[in-house]
């Protein structure tokens, strides 16, 4: 099973592709789709949409896992991130790929074993779980990989995974 994890954002959208085979996790790719400030919002959203479509066409994931929107007081930021999140979901839907949503708490629980874990702790666990030489950078990519691992956990494969 191949999962495309997405950490939504307008300026930087993180992605991570994790494949589960034979009880082990393998990282196929990770990175970011970036848009520059100063460009019209519709053009930035098109860039995100096209970037996610390109990933789906190249890797043919079995599912997309995306972080649910979380915000405290900045409603404007939440709306902007929600738009970026929406076009990523539409890109997956265009290819008839199921989309699963997870809260930040669920992602931390799946990766670090504790829903209130610090960001650094989660990133260290991503490195360990995926057998990477270093913590993935930027943070958005590491978070997207964590979201992929979270989905694998939630579909019942987690107890079969061999840690390297």
pLDDT digits (tens, 9 = 90+) for 35-93: 999 999 999 999 999 999 999 999 999 999 999 987 666 788 888 999 999 999 999 99
Kindly report, residue by residue over 11-43, the tens digit of the pLDDT. Answer: 999 999 999 988 799 999 999 999 999 999 999
Widest Cα–Cα separation across the chain: 47
Pick the catalytic residue: 34, 40, 98, 140? 140
Annotated catalytic, 62?
Answer: no
Higher pLDDT: 142 or 116? It is 142
67 is catalytic: yes
| Whole-number pLDDT of residue 147 | 97
Q: Which residues pair with 25 in a beta bridge?
A: 20
The residue segments making up the domain with residue 120 are 2-160
Check residue 130 and give its pLDDT: 93
* pTM reported for the whole predicted model: 0.90
Active site residue 7: yes
pLDDT value, residue 141: 97
Q: CATH number, domain at 133?
A: 3.30.420.10
For the chain, the domain total comes to: 1
Q: How far apart are CA 124 and CA 122, in angstroms?
A: 5
What proportion of the chain, given as a percentage, has pLDDT over 70? 91
Element (H, E) at 30: strand 24-34
- Catalytic residue chosen out of the listed positions 34, 62, 67, 139: 67
- Of 7, 20, 40, 159, which is the active-site residue? 7
């Amino acid at each position: 099973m191949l999962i495309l994890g997405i950490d939504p954002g307008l300026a930087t959208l993180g992605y991570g592709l994790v494949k589960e085979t034979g009880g082990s996790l393998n990282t196929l790719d990770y990175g970011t789709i970036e848009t520059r400030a100063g460009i019209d919002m519709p053009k930035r959203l098109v860039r995100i949409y096209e970037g996610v479509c390109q990933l789906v066409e190249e890797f043919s994931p079995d599912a997309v896992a995306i972080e649910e929107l979380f915000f405290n007081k900045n409603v404007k930021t939440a709306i902007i991130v929600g738009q970026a999140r929406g076009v990523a979901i539409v890109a997956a839907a265009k290819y008839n790929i199921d989309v699963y949503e997870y809260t930040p708490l669920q992602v931390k629980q799946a990766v670090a074993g504790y829903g209130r874990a610090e960001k650094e702790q989660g990133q260290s666990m991503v490195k360990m779980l995926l057998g990477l030489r270093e913590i993935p950078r930027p943070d958005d990519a590491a978070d997207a990989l964590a979201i992929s691992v979270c989905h694998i956990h939630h579909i019942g494969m987690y107890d079969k995974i061999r840690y390297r």
